A and B are shown apart, each in its own frame.
Chain A
């Protein structure tokens, strides 16, 4: 089992240009295979570089990772026309047929 970075939250960059970065990390595990990491980022002299609300980690097994990297077509989608039901409401109001041609227009312009 390994923990993978899943979600960053409340990330704010405070300063840039630091030549050194000191990171203090602490991890809190929760029962459901997740963990929350607190990170403090500072430059060589201790001034804050970035503020992070947290980094959420999630547990994954080796088999899961292997499968995810293999299933190339897993998130490949296409458009499919599927039957849908129509609501009965509003069926009595036929829109005004403007500029029409063919037999369809004749249906619409029939007196009601």
Chain B
């Protein structure tokens, strides 16, 4: 938190701040807190305090702010979410972005601790992408895609005029 304090002190003295800010939320708290829910509360709580501080400070109106997380989102169906406690932070920042479209609030997720500083700078300099993820050295961003047959969606029978989905043996839906 030393960097925060230095930044606030500078702002208080009227020193302008032009470069971006980045907050990293990568350490797994699950093991130390022994509870995923408790870890999620801590991570989201920290994000909330940071967000409120930033949004309440008019002198940071033009400052780009990024949150760097690890494993907070899944970029594919088989990936899983290793850092689930950081996932609420993504929702929180997305909501803040919707409420403050004039602010530049970015989310970047990495898949491991080994991120070199140059790549990190590059990721955080990409203002056009509000959300980015680094997976196996490749940078990916969310895009809308047609949910076709490849997505494993239920297909409508091509030839049938009318059709219905029926349960042949009554029971639970999972069976």
Contacts and interface: CB of A to CB of B under 8 A. Distances in A.
A96 B92 CA distance: 21
A92 interface: yes
A80 interface: yes
Q: What 9 pairs between A and B have smallest CB-CB spacing?
A: A95-B20, A103-B113, A102-B26, A102-B27, A90-B125, A81-B75, A100-B24, A80-B145, A81-B140
Contacts, number: 151
A83 B126 contact: no
Interface stretch (B93-101, B146-154, B166-174): B146-154
Interface string A89-112: 111111111111111110111101
A88 B122 CA distance: 7
22 contacts: A79-B142, A81-B135, A82-B140, A82-B143, A84-B141, A85-B139, A91-B118, A91-B121, A93-B19, A94-B117, A95-B22, A96-B17, A98-B22, A101-B26, A102-B70, A102-B113, A103-B113, A104-B110, A104-B115, A105-B26, A109-B3, A110-B117
A74 B75 CA distance: 23
Interface string A2-18: 00000000000000000
Given A102-B113, A104-B70, A80 B143 contact: yes
B68 interface: yes
Q: Which has the most chain A C-beta neighbours within 10 Å: B23, B117, B133?
A: B23
A100 B161 CA distance: 59
A76 B116 contact: no
B26 A104 contact: yes
Interface in A8-50: none
A28 B74 CA distance: 54
Interface string B49-75: 010000000000000101010100001
Interface residues of A, number: 39
B12 interface: no
Given A93-B125, A101-B26, A107 B120 contact: yes
B145 A77 contact: yes
A86 B125 CA distance: 9
B25 interface: yes
A68 interface: no
Interface string B14-35: 0001011111111100000000
Contacts of A97: 3, 22-24
Contacts of B115: 104, 107
Given A72-B156, A76-B146, A103-B113, A83 B140 contact: yes
Given A90-B125, A91-B122, A102-B70, A77 B144 contact: yes
Contact of A95 (B19, B143, B146): B19
